[in-house]
Structure 1
């Protein structure tokens, strides 16, 4: 049985490790900054066309920035853009529009139009291999775990296509056994997401570790019966404030594996 070690201290045996993607394996903050700014700009243009005053547009800008977690220095790791799914971000955007005196049906349609417009613009200006960079040491950890016979999987609120694009861009197909995405039901942080992914991997949750950068992920893991819950805090300009972890990882070089799994 392979054992995880953190800074030389054994954490226990594992057969599988479930990884969050954004802010844990991938340096997603630059892409999320661009996405937040594009959605805010599109919303301001739509409201200007609807006759919103300068003060109203200023209020809208501030509301959306706070909702997304867009701050002067980047994106806050606890904001909706960093943690929540596209659908949840769309609903939070529509809620902001309701605060700007739109009815819910119109607010929801407008949020959907804005997200689609920004997505279309991104798709037409990005290359096929455009993907967030891997965080330093992430690939080495994945390959070390794979070499030791430990099953690695991704559990993310990105779409299945987005996750696969990330895997393909960084040539991680041999390291990643399976994924659970925003296209699977239930989505994280429902404990059923962990149970569903473990079932796909044919592993018990108690034989797995989960590594993520958000308390929602870590609490989900604990409630699902995951054996080891680790918080990763080096993926953002501002370290996330985590409370639901057993241990914290500050650099991927701190995590090592000892021994080999009995699984083939």
Structure 2
């Protein structure tokens, strides 16, 4: 059990009593990992393949509305010229969320919904290898993460991942970052309910055998932070350094821009 200090200030309740922490729940993309280059390549590839498949199956539609499809998908994915919107669907949403966005864009340019959904599935099947373990732009750990995780381990504080990536993607990142042994559990898109349902937090806490009121959660999206508050997690912190543009986080949440800003103090030490 430990207390957490943010920039030298102990994180405490309204009465000034320090929170006692037994587990820290981390978001993955944009928090544990710098995933933006991989996600940018993935979103770009999805747009390219969608355009190609539309042209193959519906050349007249592609000729008339192909540019519109590219624009719609770019906005849906939050794709910039060199960056990803940290609050966009590619950054925050699950594979299923992005698949529905893709099918919706295809429907908007003239496909019927069943055909749009089928074409979207083909797009994702063709590009899934660019994500996670198969990516040549594999995500790397955010600077200072290893030192924080080691400090949590020395304080006997459990670490877990809560993400809309699938379990294989989480495992691949932890392995590539040499963090597998430091994380005791994860909750992924393979589980139900998905985040940002507060019940996802409760289920992950149950797997750790730690009550939510003895946890902290750190993430880069308002949906994660609000989910944690609704789940009864007392220490909720925004992380802003995982993207080229800081995510637009609610100012009611304390934030950090480098893991060195967070100190772990063993209770009684």
TM-score by length of 2: 0.92
Summarize the alignment of residues 230-249 of structure 1 with structure 2, pairs less than 5 Å apart.
230-243=237-250, 246-249=253-256
Q: Among 31, 40, 50, which residue is 2:38 paired with?
A: 31
Aligned to 1:168: 175
RMSD of the alignment, in Å? 1.9
| Match of residue 224, structure 2, among 170, 192, 217 | 217
Runs of 4+ that moved beyond 6 A:
121-125
1:109 aligns with 2:118: yes
Secondary structure, aligned partner of 1:4: strand
Change (3 A) 1:125 1:15: closer
More strand as a share of residues: 1
For 2:261, which of 244, 254, 260 is the aligned residue? 254
State the distance in 1 between where 2:133 and 2:144 align.
31
Q: Is the 8 A contact 1:15 1:261 kept in 2?
A: no
Q: Could you report, residue by residue, the CA deviation over 1:17-50 in whole angstroms, capped at 9, with x for unpaired residues?
A: 0000000010000000000010000011112222
What's the counterpart of residue 156 of structure 1? Answer: 163
Q: 1:194 aligns with which of 191, 201, 206?
A: 201
Corresponding residue for 1:5? 5
SS in 2 for 1:174: helix
Q: Which runs of 5+ in 1 are unaligned?
A: none
Which residue of the partner structure matches residue 180 of structure 1? 187
User: 2:10 aligns to what SS in structure 1?
Assistant: strand
Following TM superposition, by how much is the alpha carbon of 1:122 offset from its aligned partner in structure 2, in angstroms? 6.4
- Where 2:264 maps in the other structure, the secondary structure is strand
Distance 2:158 2:132 in 1: 32
SS of the aligned residue for 1:157 comes to coil
Q: Is the 8 A contact 2:129 2:135 kept in 1?
A: no
Asked if the contact 1:215/1:244 (under 8 Å) is kept, the reply is: no
Q: Over residues 84-137 of structure 1, what are the superposed CA-to-partner deviations in whole Å (9 max), with x where a residue is unaligned?
A: 00011101111111101111111111100110011247699757xx73111101
Structure 1 pair 212/124, CA: closer, same or farther in 2 (3 Å)? closer
In structure 2, the CA distance between the partners of 1:120 and 1:249, relative to structure 1 (3 Å rule), is: closer
- For residue 72 of structure 1, give the secondary structure of its aligned residue in structure 2: coil
